[in-house]
Structure 1
Amino acid sequence: MPDPGSVAAVVAVSAALTWGLRAAPFAVLAPMRESAVVAHLSRRMPLGVMVVLAAYTLRDVPTDSAVAALPFVVAVAVTVGLHLWRRNALVSILVGTVVHVALATALAGG
């Protein structure tokens, strides 16, 4: 059994490291709030991330049959149209996903 002094030292070091690691991002990012580059990236990155996710998702669209590609095409059209109309990413992604699952299930006969 370790002595209480050793346990207290280990707990103190662990607490200091945990606090430091949690505080470090705020200390490092504070000077960047005034950066023009960070401001530009904060405006452009959401669109870039969505384009990458869309490309990654649509890479598996079957091209041998129009019927097999139908759920993908309709879901993307619904998602884009709904997002342009409502400007709500959560709603457009959720509804697009539901449309895709419903069409894929219906076409699979389930």
Structure 2
Amino acid sequence: MDETTYIAAFIAVAAVATFATRVIPFLFFERHTDHPLVQHLGRYLPASVMALLAVIFLQRSASWTGSVPGLDALVPGLLVVCLHLWRGNALLSIAAGTASYMMLKQTGILGA
């Protein structure tokens, strides 16, 4: 097997595996949408995951040695929260938060 065939096969297997992990839950939960556990998970899991991601982000990405520790991560985080409360658009909030965080990191503003 030459390298091109190997890479193509690898990409195909990865694509099928990724697609399967996205589709299987929808196929399974389609018949169980009125189950109390599924409704509970649908209500509370998204907020829980976002809170966990925020905590991990603050722990791993923030500069805790600057003049104001963690400010380089808190500013984009507050921007995300404010934009989302104002506009209610998750894509806008995430894009603006990511852009502001990367700007702070690349320019070194706020001790990033």
Give your verdict on TM over 0.5.
yes
Pair 1:89 & 2:90 matched: yes
Alignment identity in percent? 31
The residue that corresponds to 1:52 in the other structure is: 52
Deviations 1:52-90 (A, max 9, x none): 111111112222213573321211110111111111211
Q: Does 1 or 2 have the higher relative contact order (CA < 8 Å, sep 6+)?
A: 2
1:91 and 1:24, CA in 2 relative to 1: closer, same or farther beyond 3 A? closer
Structure 2: which 5+ runs fail to align?
1-19
Normalised to the residue count of structure 1, the TM-score between the two structures is: 0.65
Partners of 1:71 and 1:99 within 8 A in 2: no
CA contact 2:79–2:97 (8 Å) conserved in 1:
yes
Please give the per-residue CA displacement for 1:5-28, whole angstroms capped at 9, x wherever unaligned. xxxxxxxxxxxxxxxx988962x4
Query: Which position in structure 2 is the counterpart of 1:71?
Result: 72
Alignment coverage as a number of residue pairs: 87
- Residue segments in structure 1 that go unaligned for 5+ positions in a row: 1-20
Q: Report if the CA contact (8 A) 1:83-1:92 is conserved.
A: yes
Deviation larger for 61-70 or 77-86: 61-70
Normalized against structure 2, the TM-score is what? Answer: 0.64
Aligned-CA RMSD value? 2.6
Paired residue type of 2:32 = M
Write out the 4+ residue segments of structure 1 that deviate beyond 4 Å after TM superposition.
Answer: 21-25
Structure possessing the higher radius of gyration over alpha carbons? 1
